[in-house]
Chains A and B, each alone.
Chain A
Amino acid sequence: MSPTTSTEPKVPAQRGGSAGNGADAGRERVSAFWSLSRAMLLSFRRDRSALFFVMLFPLMFLLLFGTLLKGATSPHAKVAQVGAVQVLDSVQGEGRTELEKVLQISKVDDESAALTKVRKGDLDAVIKQDPDGRIELRFSTADQVRAGSVQGILNSIVQQANQAAYKEATGKPPAFTLDATQVEDQSLKPIQFLTPGLLGWAVATGAVFGASLTLVGWRQKKVLRRLRLAPVSAFSVIASRVVVSTVTALAQTAIFLVVATTPYFGLKLTGNWWLIIPLVICATIAFMSIGLLAGSIAKTEEAANGISQIIVLPMSFLSGSFFKMDDAPTWLKTISEALPLRHLVDAAGSVLSRGGGVMDALPTMGILLGFAVVLTLISAKLFKWDDV
């Protein structure tokens, strides 16, 4: 022992260290995992700008787009009926009230004047019946959504009339019946694609930025180094971050669904809507792997922010988060197929309001998790503990 300057004797203490046997080690991992999760949730909850950016900002878009597009496709399609149309005229009583909720039918005599109105967009369609029972529907495609809904409604009415006629004639029930939900499906209201689209964008934003900024921030502030010098497994660190991002994403989902299903926006959830929960969890993991990659490449928080934005925004546009990709050129659609957000948006739309079931969600969940595995492996190669 070297000479000491202190006057008091030094006693090298016997330190048991509470970190001894295996049972203890197991308990520690659990407690490290939960306390890390808690620390990250508290950081997030107290960070007003992050809270706004991740939780409120996407919700504002839902309110804005939802309200703007609401008028564009009011359920009232305006239809002119030329002369007598048996299938329409025969709908009376309660059925008539239901029909008038979706179709505003005006009776006219001048067919060519009515067609001019359709061309100008004052009317959505003209209906007339030939003497031999053929029903002619002439519509404008200026508003595709409404054109589709008019067609769908008419189609359904004709089908029902046919079935009734068949039953009357033969005394047998029809061989084929149409699912009554078809009417609902055909009339794609904006809220039906806005909700999954904007929700997907919100989940992607939260998870990509959450993962990349946390990683870079921790590296810059040497928190990563401190974690590395503590007996905490990398699994605990990653798992706690996943749990925090997932909780955030599920909270976003809940808020979105509550807002979208208000009578004002009128989203109607279909049977297996709960499948959105496993879908959002898988998507969060996939988006976090993007953030992990961005955070592994970026050296500063500014760079991580930029890289994340460059990925999230174009991905959202190409995935149909803000508008549908139906009319996009084929090559863009092909690119879009490679994006995890596209798969989430499609599957979410399907299970939320279009009657999709487990088989619509499962393949998407597989794709999302596979995507996450690939990107995580790449990130592991690029990962750095320190910025020097």
Chain B
Amino acid sequence: MTAAISADGIRQRYGDVQAVDGVSLTVEAGEFYGILGPNGAGKTTTLEILEGIRKPDEGRVELLGMAPWPRNPKLLPRIGVQFQASAFFRKLTARETIRTFASFYGTGPKRADAMLERVGLADKAGSMTEEMSGGQAQRLSIACALAHDPELVFLDEPTTGLDPQARRNLWDLLRDINREGRTVVLTTHYLDEAEVLCDRVSIMDHGKILHTGAPAALIRELDDTVRITVESGQLAVDRARELLTAAGAEIAALEDDGVSLSVSTRLPAPILAVLAEQNALRGLEVRGATLEDVFLQLTGREYRA
């Protein structure tokens, strides 16, 4: 089967800034693929080159076995693109908007309306797009990208600026879209989003892909410690160290900052046992490594969205 996307050595420079610096990637059909990185990492430019909006200075791109640049009308009906900004016509209702976009692909109003219902906007169909909330506008934008039933969907930071509830609703929708067999490519600067949604993630910074893999595999490769915290004041630090050492637990770090007592370790079981024995489990939190830690290790700096 042809890969949904294959890109090889793409580069793009704006003036002095090398926005994309030799990106190569392959996305298989049916995959949920994420491009993760902080603002200015080159995610959006990469996505624009993949979509065929931008011609790269160097490199080669194929979508579904066809070159997206120059504009290829045979390819366009097979891809769906959602934009960062809500690109709608002025003073149209949600229903008019999606019907207009659907008509460009020869998709009828029935299917357009069904898509609106699918993203939970049936009761907002008569509202002007200008009056919709951020989450509603994002959902409409996604519905517009999907109305013509594309095989390959590009989503550029679909959950940026949404409240947590709206984000979770949107995640459910995106997972469903992918389960129906569509290839989904998503950019995000939220690590948790990539971790929850993506089959594979490419971590990007300064125009380069630093690492690619399944989120779980990336985290496992990290071989990082688990951090256990409980509320301060239940067990003194010295006493804790004494007990833990006696129990044969491996301690990478142990500290009490006055709020929490925290222990870092690769083997959490004996430590949890000691804390339970001492009845010092109030406010217990066990936190494994996350993509955030992967990012920290790859770039040597704190992840800031």
Contact = CB atoms under 8 A, between A and B. Distances in A.
Interface of A: 1-6, 8, 10-13, 15, 17-19, 24, 27-28, 31-32, 34-36, 38-40, 42-43, 46-47, 217, 221-223, 225-232, 385-386
B181 interface: yes
A17 B198 CA distance: 26
B217 A3 contact: yes
Interface string B73-95: 10011110101011111111000
Contacts of A43: 89-92
A263 B182 CA distance: 67
* Residues of B contacting A: mostly: loop
B71 interface: yes
Contact of B83 (A8, A15, A40, A225): A225
Given A2-B31, A17-B77, 11 more contacts: A1-B31, A3-B214, A4-B32, A6-B179, A10-B30, A13-B180, A15-B150, A18-B105, A18-B106, A18-B107, A221-B85
Contact of B91 (A10, A11, A46): A46
B189 interface: no
A230 B89 contact: no
A27 B104 CA distance: 10
Contacts of A31: 103, 106
Interface in B112-159: 144, 148-151
B205 interface: no
A40 B89 CA distance: 8
B105 A229 contact: no
A240 to B, nearest CB: 11
Contacts, number: 130
Nearest to A3: B214
Most B Cβ at <10 Å: residue of A226, A227, A228: A226
Given A6-B179, A10-B178, A229-B79, A36 B100 contact: yes
Contacts of A42: 91-92, 96
A229 B70 CA distance: 11
Contacts of B198: 5
A28 B148 CA distance: 12
B199 interface: yes
Given A32-B104, A231-B73, A225 B90 contact: no
22 contacts: A1-B28, A4-B199, A6-B199, A10-B178, A10-B179, A11-B180, A15-B78, A17-B78, A17-B149, A18-B107, A18-B148, A18-B149, A19-B148, A28-B103, A28-B106, A34-B103, A46-B91, A47-B91, A225-B87, A227-B104, A231-B73, A231-B105
Given A28-B104, A42-B92, A222-B87, A2 B28 contact: yes
B151 A15 contact: yes
Contact of B181 (A4, A11, A18, A35): A11
Instruction: Report the contact-size class of chain B (Cβ under 8 Å from the partner).
Output: 35 or more
Nearest to B217: A3
B37 interface: no
A3 B106 contact: no
B56 interface: no
Q: Which 7 A-B pairs have the closest CB atoms?
A: A13-B181, A19-B77, A222-B87, A35-B103, A28-B106, A230-B104, A46-B91
B179 A8 contact: yes
A226 B87 contact: yes
B180 A232 contact: no
B60 interface: no
A19 B53 CA distance: 21
B215 interface: yes
A46 B90 CA distance: 9
A3 B213 CA distance: 9
B208 interface: no
Nearest to A36: B100
Contacts of B100: 35-36, 38-39
A229 B105 CA distance: 11
Nearest to B106: A28
Contact of A223 (B73, B76, B89, B182): B89
Contacts of A28: 103-106
A219 to B, nearest CB: 10
A38 B92 CA distance: 10
A192 to B, nearest CB: 38
A313 B148 CA distance: 45
A385 to B, nearest CB: 8
A35 B83 CA distance: 21
Nearest to A388: B14
Contacts of A18: 77, 105-107, 148-149
A5 B53 contact: no
Given A3-B199, A10-B178, A229-B51, A221 B71 contact: no
A226 B83 contact: yes
A229 B149 contact: no
Given A1-B31, A43-B91, A222 B83 contact: yes
Contact of A2 (B79, B91, B200): B200
Contacts of B99: 35
